[in-house]
Amino acid sequence: MKNVIIILTLLISNLTSAQIEKENDTLEIWTLFSIGNFVNQNAERIVEKKWPFKIKGIAGDSFMEDLIDSVEIHNNKVWTYLDANGYSESKKKFETDLLTEIKQIKKAVDISNSDKKVVSLFEKWRKNGQQNYTALNKLTDVKYEFSLYSFDVNDLDKGQTFELKYIVDLDNEKIKVIK
């Protein structure tokens, strides 16, 4: 009887600890990023959709040197896992995807910054002491949708105000205003 109680106790404690120590099975690629880098953050968010992992920024503008080694060790485990499970040269392919997306977003931003309506809106915000927020969505391989919002940092309870929505077409280097 004593043995049965011991076995039952061990079994229950193992089941309980297995539930408590629930392991996270989500793959993550860690990045060291600069806070506020619009292009890189959006490129990572867009490229992440093509891959079976999440991209997680683990450091801001400053970080210790040994953190770089930790990030590389962690990411190398993910690349090895992916290459062993159906991917080929996953790290190289991901880096190519990311660099391509960064270049395209930079081009879309440059096209935006050359548009008179967009430039005048940013000037208006600067003169009025307002801040802005831009939401970016990739519609196709060559089209990006920008939604611009403004807000007053001195009155955050007021929230943000929608200002402008437009699509940048990289092929013809033009902007089409939607709203």
Distance between CA atoms of residues 139 and 46, nearest Å: 11
pTM over 0.85, yes/no: no
Distance between CA atoms of residues 91 and 97, nearest Å: 10
Strands 143-151 and 161-169, bridge-based pairing: antiparallel
Walk along the chain (179 residues) and give the pLDDT tens digit of each residue. Answer: 555 455 545 455 454 444 333 344 579 999 876 666 889 999 999 999 999 999 988 766 666 777 888 899 999 999 999 999 999 999 999 999 999 999 999 999 999 999 999 999 999 988 988 888 899 999 999 999 999 998 877 777 778 889 899 999 999 999 999 98
Distance between CA atoms of residues 39 and 99, nearest Å: 11
In degrees and rounded to multiples of 5, residue 14 shows phi and psi of -65, -40
Tell me which residue of 59, 61, 90, 96 sits closest to 76, measured CA to CA. 90
Within 13 Å and on the Cβ side, how many CA atoms surround 179?
A: 9
User: What are 120-134's pLDDT values in tens digits?
Assistant: 999 998 898 888 889
